[in-house]
Amino acid sequence: MSFASLGLSLPLQKAVADQGYDTPSPIQAQAIPAVLSGRDVMAAAQTGTGKTAGFTLPLLQRLADGEPARSNGTRALILTPTRELAAQIHESVVTYGRHLKVSSTVVFGGVKINPQMMALRKGADVLVATPGRLLDLFNQRAVNFKQLEVLVLDEADRMLDMGFINDIKKILAVLPKERQNLLFSATFSPEIRALAKGLVNDPVEISVSPRNTAATTVSQLVHTVDKKRKPALLAKLIHDGAWKQALVFTRTKHGANKLTEFLEKNKIGAAAIHGNKSQGARTKALANFKAGKVSILVATDIAARGLDIDQLPQVVNFDLPNIAEDYVHRIGRTGRAGASGKAISLVSADEADFLAGIEKLTSQRIERTEVEGFEPDQRVPEGRASSARPNNSSRPKRPQAARSGQGRPSGERNDRRSDAPANKPTVRRKPRPSRPRSTTTA
């Protein structure tokens, strides 16, 4: 199967070929014809499956014809939860639309709003936006939706997790009723289906991978180790394996900073990316990582969501996530587009329930090993799935971030010119096993 067989125009075929692609991925093969036909689409696909091109390419083809966007107007709106993902989707729009006369811009919080207002005065055929900043621009009459033809809701599951539901409802209320709707999510959870009822009309439903499963191209391994020795073990793995690039996940922002400092002291180039970092610092850290100036990028879950890093060889869970589904999202950063990758988790005894919950969710046991010289004093018990966090529809929505304003980039906490949603629900989190609750969230 080729991109030409999917009905894409010659300019788009050329843009795809320029990027070195000749065969569409499964999500692209199903989504592109459906979008081109004008149908609403609900698509479930894991990170790294090529879903961005799955909606970007047919969207551009639809917009190539017709009247260009007028001043402050837009013809296609792509909503996404994080700044990094918004920037990368816009980059894809620019890349694939280079041979078409289609204008685009991107808006998100954490940066000055005036340049974004100026850009919108020209109109944008494609507008990529985070919900909070889009509402700010709409309320200041810097953007209108009179010409809107297509709405794309990307990473819908994460937007709900981050508490954007009220912002999404406000946006939907001011959009034209007659439009094409495309909803992309990692899973079709009950919450996503509830959202879809008020959004899509007789949709084409696409699912290219089983729910909550890790990519088969990713080999998974657990190193059991005492908590206090995790930093030294990670440094040893990096040195012994001569790692040139790895994405390391911590549970908290403080933990990310502390680990980065430790690695730097051990002559390992590292940078942290999390919600307390300014947008400039986050952009610089990612650019340095992609350019090979630093070999280790230490990130929290929210900050890492949507990072597009080609051929990432390994992901490390320095801390296991306390939400099992986040494990699948994390390790999906490697093993992308058919390439092989490694996911290594450093697990201490107090994370046994988290590990059991992950294994229950993914229906597989992850191999456990010990590294010589780092054998744990406190063993990680097996078979504790019965006490692990259950896999149900009431997933925690990062309650401390919702209550305190943490988990957002610097400058967003009390500023509605940001991506922070209003009226976030308060959800109680179950106590973590064998350790006090941290007052800092990712």
Reported as a single tens digit per residue, the pLDDT across 131-147 is 999 999 999 999 999 99
Name 30's Cβ contacts closer than 8 Å, sequence gap at least 6: 43, 54, 206, 208
Q: Please tell me the least confidently modeled range out of 29-38, 329-338, 358-367.
A: 329-338
Name 262's Cβ contacts closer than 8 Å, sequence gap at least 6: 231, 235
Provide the pLDDT confidence category of residue 360 given band limits of 50, 70 and 90.
Answer: confident
Give the integer Cα–Cα distance in Å for 132 and 260: 30
Provide the pLDDT confidence category of residue 238 given band limits of 50, 70 and 90.
Answer: very high
Phi-psi region of 20 (alpha: psi -120 to 50; beta: other; left: phi over 0): left
Of 29 and 215, the one with more pLDDT = 29
Residue 214, pLDDT score: 58
Q: For residues 430-440, give the mean pLDDT.
A: 46
Residue 223, pLDDT score: 96
Of 80 and 413, the one with more pLDDT = 80
Give the integer Cα–Cα distance in Å for 180 and 187: 21
Tell me the domains of the chain and their CATH numbers: 4-207 (3.40.50.300), 218-387 (3.40.50.300)
* 150-162: pLDDT as tens digits: 999 998 888 887 8
Provide the pLDDT confidence category of residue 304 given band limits of 50, 70 and 90.
Answer: low
Residue 213, pLDDT score: 55
* 89-124: pLDDT as tens digits: 999 999 999 999 999 999 999 889 999 999 999 999
What percent of the chain shows pLDDT beyond 90? 49
Give the integer Cα–Cα distance in Å for 329 and 158: 10
Residue for token pair 């080609």 = 310
Of 183 and 214, the one with more pLDDT = 183
Of 213 and 285, the one with more pLDDT = 285
Tokens for 211, please give them.
């729910």
Give the CA distances from residue 441 to residues 275, 433, 436, in Å, rounded to whole numbers and listed in that order: 9, 17, 13
Q: How far apart are the first and last CA of the chain?
A: 42
- The yes-or-no verdict on residue 275 having pLDDT over 90 is no
